[in-house]
Chain A
Amino acid sequence: MEALGALMDGFATALTPINIMWSMVGVTLGTLIGILPGIGPALTIALLLPVTRTLDPTGAFIMFAGLYYGAMYGSSTTSILLNTPGESGSIVTALEGNQMARRGRGAAALATAAIGSFIAGTIGTLLLTFLAPQFVKLAILFGPAEYFALMVLAFMTVTTLLGASVTRGMTSLMIGLAFGLAGTDILTGQPRLVFGIPSMLRGIDTVVVAVGLFAVGEALYMASRRDLREAVILPIQGSLFMTREEWRRSWKPWLRGTAIGFPFGALPAGGTEIPTFLSYFMEKKLAKNPEEFGKGAIEGVAGPEAANNAAVAGVLVPLLALGLPTSATAAILLAAFEQYNLQPGPQLFSASGTLVWALIASLYIGNVMLLVLNLPLAGVWVRLLAIPQPLLYGGILVFSTLGVYSLSNSTFDLVLLFIVGIIGFLMRRHDFPVAPAIIGLILGPMAEAQFRRALTISQGDATVFFTHPISLALLLIALAVVVVPVILRRVLRRVPV
Chain B
Amino acid sequence: MSVAGLLIGLGLIAIAAIIAIDVSGMRVPPVHAKVGPRFFPLLVSSGLALAGAAVVWQAWRRTFDEDLPPATDWFAVAVIAAGLILHMNLLRPVGFVPAAMVLFMSVTFAFGSRSFLRDGAVALVLALVAYLGFTRLLGLQLPAGLLQGII
Residues of A within 8 A of B (CB): 39, 44, 47, 167, 170-171, 173-175, 177-178, 181, 185, 187-188, 190-193, 195, 216, 219-220, 222-227, 229, 388-391, 393-395, 397-399, 401-402, 405-406, 409, 411, 414-415, 417-418, 421-422, 425-426, 429-431, 444, 448, 451-453, 455-456, 459-460
- Contacting residues of chain B (96-116) with chain A, CB-CB under 8 angstroms: 96, 100, 103-105, 107-113
Give the residues in chain A near B54, CB-CB below 8 Å. Answer: 167, 170-171
A171, A216, A453: most-surrounded residue (chain B CB, <10 A): A171
**A188 with B31: CB separation less than 8 A:** yes
Expressed in whole angstroms, the Cα–Cα distance for A170 and B16 within the complex equals 14
Q: Which of A167, A414, A455 is the one whose CB lies under 8 Å from B32? A: A455
| Chain B, residue nearest A412 (CB) | B88
Give me the 7 closest cross-chain CB pairs, A-B, nearest first: A460-B34, A455-B33, A390-B111, A390-B113, A390-B108, A223-B76, A414-B88
> In the assembled complex, how far is the CB of residue A377 from the closest CB belonging to chain B, in whole angstroms?
19
Expressed in whole angstroms, the Cα–Cα distance for A205 and B8 within the complex equals 24
Q: Which of B50, B88, B108 is the one whose CB lies under 8 Å from A418? A: B88
**B35 with A414: CB separation less than 8 A:** no
- Take A177-B44, A227-B71, A401-B87 as given contacts and tell me if A390 and B51 are in contact as well, using a CB distance cutoff of 8 Å: no
| Chain A, residue nearest B87 (CB) | A401
| Chain A, residue nearest B104 (CB) | A394
> In the assembled complex, how far is the CB of residue B113 from the closest CB belonging to chain A, in whole angstroms?
4
| Chain A, residue nearest B51 (CB) | A171
Give the residues in chain A near B142, CB-CB below 8 Å. Answer: 402, 405-406
Give the residues in chain A near B144, CB-CB below 8 Å. Answer: none
- Contacting residues of chain B (46-86) with chain A, CB-CB under 8 angstroms: 47-48, 50-52, 54-55, 58, 64-65, 67-74, 76-77, 79-81, 83-85
> In the assembled complex, how far is the CB of residue B30 from the closest CB belonging to chain A, in whole angstroms?
10
Tally B residues with Cβ within 8 Å of A.
77
Give the residues in chain B near A425, CB-CB below 8 Å. Answer: 77
Expressed in whole angstroms, the Cα–Cα distance for A417 and B84 within the complex equals 9
- Take A190-B29, A398-B103 as given contacts and tell me if A224 and B134 are in contact as well, using a CB distance cutoff of 8 Å: no
Q: What are 12 sample pairs from A and B whose C-beta atoms fall under 8 A apart?
A: A47-B138, A47-B140, A167-B54, A171-B51, A174-B47, A174-B51, A181-B44, A193-B23, A398-B123, A402-B134, A414-B84, A455-B35
Give the residues in chain A near B105, CB-CB below 8 Å. Answer: 394
A190, A394, A451: most-surrounded residue (chain B CB, <10 A): A394
Expressed in whole angstroms, the Cα–Cα distance for A99 and B21 within the complex equals 41
Give the residues in chain A near B81, CB-CB below 8 Å. Answer: 220, 418, 422
- Take A220-B81, A398-B100 as given contacts and tell me if A190 and B37 are in contact as well, using a CB distance cutoff of 8 Å: yes
Give the residues in chain B near A395, CB-CB below 8 Å. Answer: 104, 126
Give the residues in chain A near B5, CB-CB below 8 Å. Answer: 430
Give the residues in chain B near A399, CB-CB below 8 Å. Answer: 130
Give the residues in chain A near B48, CB-CB below 8 Å. Answer: 171, 174-175, 178
Q: Mark B15-41, 1 if CB is under 8 A from A, else 0.
A: 100010011001111011111110011
Is B141 among interface residues, defined by CB-CB distance under 8 A? yes
Expressed in whole angstroms, the Cα–Cα distance for A333 and B83 within the complex equals 39
- Take A190-B26, A414-B88 as given contacts and tell me if A388 and B113 are in contact as well, using a CB distance cutoff of 8 Å: yes
Expressed in whole angstroms, the Cα–Cα distance for A451 and B36 within the complex equals 11
**A181 with B122: CB separation less than 8 A:** no
